[in-house]
Structure 1
């Protein structure tokens, strides 16, 4: 089993409260997800995130690879952090920390993702050939969308 880590930071000219309001609304996720992923929320969403919240959606992380993904919000400290963990989906393990840190120019959004792919050595090969690059593309798209939306 190989545990991978993806660590991203972005500063936005927002207060922590404004950043929290945006990121803690699961309905906003589609606006920062690449269109070719065909993101579709399956579960009805309340606008108030809480520990134990289950989020069910369809997406195509890779062409011709549709998946259903179910995540749970497992930890939350308002305006500081929340964690989503995959319950069902394409990864063997997925733990995504979202941190909101004070910054002189606004707020620093920090994502720390730990993940494991299924299929042992085939998963390692898939990571090198596809998954690592695709995750980088997804987070670059997100960075650009957020910069544009909040003009950072």
Structure 2
């Protein structure tokens, strides 16, 4: 099992950050263009517990993938989880925590627990490639959030 945690401080009230994060279509804004990320399923304006979202994603060296996630464990304005149902990982459990620092600032924390398939081969691929790829994706995500919300 592998873990990734990222935290960012944004100069917006928690309500603005939550509204953005609770809108499934905004995931496009936070994904690097080189992944050719496409949302396939129809999306509601606001996420809800049990929402299934289908994506297509292109992973360099590994081709195109169908990725199906379920939105779970929503606590309005505080956190939600997206959990992979079908996709490139053996397990993907992504917690999104949002908390007010004060009336004008919000701390957003991403915690991802994930596991790759293919045993020892998967471990080697993680060490030499996946770990860095995820760091790059979450760095891009933080940059985009900073551009959007300061």
Give TM class, smaller chain: over 0.9
Q: Deviations over 1:93-139 (max 9, x none)?
A: 01000000121451000000000000000000000111000000000
Structure 2 equivalent of residue 62 of structure 1? 60
Instruction: Kindly state the Cα deviation for residue 62 of structure 1 after the two structures are TM-superposed.
Output: 2.2
Structure 2: give runs of 5+ residues left out of the alignment: none
Q: Please give the secondary structure, in 2, of the residue aligned with 1:138.
A: helix
Larger mean CA deviation between 92-101 and 59-68 belongs to 59-68
Structure 2 equivalent of residue 50 of structure 1? 48
Q: Deviations over 1:17-71 (max 9, x none)?
A: 1101101111000111000000100000001111100010001132452101000
Structure 2 equivalent of residue 28 of structure 1? 26
Structure 2 equivalent of residue 83 of structure 1? 81
Which whole-Å CA distance do the structure 2 matches of 1:132 and 1:75 have between them? 26
Structure 2 equivalent of residue 8 of structure 1? 6
C-alpha spacing 1:64/1:92, structure 2 compared with 1 (3 Å): closer
Q: Please give the secondary structure, in 2, of the residue aligned with 1:36.
A: helix
Structure 2 equivalent of residue 120 of structure 1? 119
TM-score w.r.t. length of structure 2: 0.96
| Runs of 4+, deviation exceeding 6 Å | none
Q: Please give the secondary structure, in 1, of the residue aligned with 2:133.
A: helix
TM-score w.r.t. length of structure 1: 0.95
Structure 1 equivalent of residue 130 of structure 2? 131
